[in-house]
Amino acid sequence: METFESEFPSLEKEEQVKKLHALLAPHMLRRVKGDVKLKIPPKSEFIIRVELSRVQKELYRAILTKNYQVCVTRRFPCVCECPHAQSASRGTTWCSC
């Protein structure tokens, strides 16, 4: 670090910046956008439908019906906007009402 600072005390001069670029150039990998673009295959998207597990279904129904007690008894944090909401250890909000 001391060698670097002594060789390049201030990078405000253009000649020092060019010297630094020349030193770093062999170690830098630079790609041109056009070159990279040629190597990437076209995007393909697949939608795979899967069923929710029993626990996921139960929690999903509880959240939709605003039955947050299910989440508390199962120790899963559910988001709640009621005035009784308490902060859980994970940073989420849960309700005990």
Alpha helices in the chain (DSSP H): 2-7, 14-24, 33-39, 54-64, 68-73
What span, in angstroms and rounded, lies between the C-alpha atoms of 74 and 13? 65
Q: Give the pLDDT score at 91.
A: 47
Q: pLDDT-based confidence at 5, cuts 50/70/90?
A: confident
Q: Give the pLDDT score at 90.
A: 44
Q: Which helix (H) or strand (E) holds 87?
A: strand 86-87
CA atoms within 13 A on the CB side of 7: 8
pLDDT tens across 29-76, in order?
A: 777 777 776 777 888 999 999 999 988 888 888 889 988 787 777 665
Instruction: Out of 14-18, 24-28, 36-40, pick the least confident.
Output: 36-40
Q: Give the pLDDT score at 68.
A: 78
